[in-house]
Amino acid sequence: MRILIIEDDQRLTRLMRQVFEEENLSVDIANDGDTGLELALRGMYDVAVIDWMLPGRDGPTISRAIRAARLPIALLMLTARSQVEDRVAGLNSGADDYLVKPFAFEELIARVRALGRRFQIAADSAELRSGEIVMDTQSHKARRGSQPLDLTSTEWNLLECFLRHPGQVLTRQQILDYVWSYENEVQPTMVEVYVSYLRHKLDRPGKPDPIQTVRGVGYRLEPEHA
């Protein structure tokens, strides 16, 4: 599960990152509303944890923008406001759940996992598919036709990125953000390197290359018929 935290309290974000990573969840952080919305609109996250009061855009504004973009992402609003009318306002802005500060981290994790499960069931199944290319995210197995794909963890993440956005042109930066989760030391040239590796493993005699290069932009997984 990929989580985006939009929160300006840097001490709190460090603690949230720590507890989420201890649960083997992938976490990215934005400390202001404008950056947070920019990251959220890339469509790479399962759950966004959004503070109500932020520099730049506030939490409700971010929620409304995400909902207007029709992204399949669960939204959990954090706030010190506990009045009923405030909770209603947060939910009406597009948030799926609401957590009042201060909160127990155990409750935060439980709510995030529940939201993630709800959206995963609604948005997709454990199986991602494009024609003969099939990925089972529960058993962690992938194949093209009847032939299994022996993928490294990075190749797996790259194929998952393509399968979650079939037919969509993905920029190199979007791929870099999804596969390497904002690791600062990773160079953009790694995208080309791993696309080449993945193409080699997907290659089948008489079958077209499913990964198309869009010159000057990035790559697209061309939906194919099984």
What are the residue boundaries of the structural domains of the chain, listed by start? 2-123, 127-221
- For residue 102, say if its preceding peptide bond is cis, omega within 30 degrees of 0: yes
CA angle 43, 3, 187 (to 5 degrees): 70
CATH number of 127-221: 1.10.10.10
Residue 210, pLDDT > 80, answer yes
One-letter identity of residue 71: L
Q: Classify each residue of 147-164 as buried b or exposed e, where b means 16 or more C-beta atoms within 10 Å of its C-beta.
A: eebebeebbbbbbbbbbb
52-69 mean pLDDT? 90
Q: Mean pLDDT in the chain?
A: 86
Q: Maximum distance among all alpha carbons in the chain?
A: 64
Residue 221, pLDDT > 60, answer yes
- Asked if the domains at 2-123 and 127-221 fall in one CATH topology, the answer is no
Residue 123, pLDDT > 60, answer no
pLDDT, position 83: 66
pLDDT, position 181: 61
Confidence of residue 91 (pLDDT cuts 50, 70, 90): confident
- pTM, to two decimals: 0.56
CATH architecture of the region 2-123: 3-Layer(aba) Sandwich (3.40)
Q: Tell me the two tokens of residue 151.
A: 């993928």
65-69 mean pLDDT? 85
pLDDT, position 155: 93
32-37 mean pLDDT? 94
Confidence of residue 178 (pLDDT cuts 50, 70, 90): confident
Confidence of residue 144 (pLDDT cuts 50, 70, 90): very high
108-121 mean pLDDT? 79
